[in-house]
Amino acid sequence: MIIAAADGSALGNPGPAGWCWYVDDGCWAAGGWPHGTNNQGELTAVLELLRATAHLDEELLVQCDSQYVINALTKWMPNWKRKGWRKADGSPVLNLELMQSLDDALRGRRYRFEWVRGHSGHPMNEAADERARAVALAYQKGGGDVPAGPGWSGACEPAVDALVSPAPDEPAVDIARDRAVDDGAPADDAALFDFDDPTADWTALSLELTTEEHTRLVERARAAGVSPEEFLRGLI
């Protein structure tokens, strides 16, 4: 498995902006623009990571501190596409070009997202944030000496020991409930579980999938050499 952090930074938001994906000190890439938003930086970091690893077969675990990015790519996108890339209220999806490029880049890939708390000492997240911010600062100063990183090369190795579990007093966030609001999900998008119901029976689960989601599930299960049910259980 490849474990990488992806982060973005925008001074003023919008303002001078940067993005970075990071595996280790010898395997990272960064870039940015004179004017952009934090969300654009976060999305671009994931997109460039997918492009850099497109030739690899390993599953990709993306550590990200943006719930907007995680929700957009794992929950909201199917509804947006069914509505012609429009949100529940009929307004156009923000960052459309990036979203469509990410949709293409994710197709056929084995990947997972892990939410990590930003600015909390998570080593890989801090490293990505530091580099994305350095790009934004470089553009703020005129665009000279923008750090780009070595990119993905033969020296890159998956960071197999970099996954950091949340501390006991900081449980992992419930992404389905704690969603970002700046590019909103449908208001009637019900959570899969009722986390506040202590009597809930989670031994059986019925999950509705779109045709595209079902196809993607089957493809990933076949790639892993297991049944779709076993593949889903492996994600729990």
Share above pLDDT 90 across residues of the chain, in percent, rounded to a whole number: 61
Q: What is the mean pLDDT of each run of 10 residues along the chain (236 residues)?
A: 97 97 96 97 98 94 97 96 94 97 96 93 96 96 89 66 40 34 38 37 51 65 62 65
| Residue type at position 187 | A
The encoded tokens of residue 220 equal 């990933």
- Residue boundaries of the structural domains of the chain: 2-175, 190-236
**What confidence score (pLDDT) does residue 122 get?**
94
Give 86-127 pLDDT, tens digit per residue: 999 999 999 999 999 999 999 999 999 999 999 889 999 999
**What confidence score (pLDDT) does residue 213 get?**
66
**What confidence score (pLDDT) does residue 236 get?**
59
Angstrom distances, CA of residue 68 to CA of 108, 132, 220: 22, 18, 24
**What confidence score (pLDDT) does residue 154 get?**
60
| Positive or negative: CA dihedral 104, 105, 109, 111 | negative
Cα-based angle 99, 104, 108 (whole degrees, multiple of 5): 130
**What confidence score (pLDDT) does residue 99 get?**
98
Catalytic residue positions, numbered: 7-8, 42, 65, 119, 129
Angstrom distances, CA of residue 234 to CA of 149, 217, 220, 228, 230: 34, 12, 12, 10, 6
The helix/strand/coil state of 199 is coil
Q: How far apart are CA 112 and CA 103, in angstroms?
A: 14
Q: Which CATH number fits domain 2-175: 3.30.420.10, 3.40.50.2300, 3.30.470.10, 3.40.640.10?
A: 3.30.420.10
Strand ranges (E), the chain: 2-10, 15-24, 27-36, 60-64, 111-115
Q: How far apart are CA 64 and CA 46, in angstroms?
A: 9
**What confidence score (pLDDT) does residue 214 get?**
61
**What confidence score (pLDDT) does residue 143 get?**
76
The encoded tokens of residue 52 equal 């850099």
Q: How far apart are CA 62 and CA 159, in angstroms?
A: 11
Q: How far apart are CA 170 and CA 5, in angstroms?
A: 19
Q: Any alpha helices (H) in 57-118, and if so which ranges?
A: 67-71, 77-82, 96-106
**What confidence score (pLDDT) does residue 217 get?**
72
**What confidence score (pLDDT) does residue 196 get?**
37
* Diameter of the chain measured on Cα atoms: 59
| Residue type at position 14 | P
Measure the N-to-C terminal CA separation of the chain; round to a whole number of Å.
16
22 burial type by CB count under 10 A (0-12 exposed, 13-18 middle, 19+ buried): buried
| Positive or negative: CA dihedral 191, 124, 20, 46 | negative
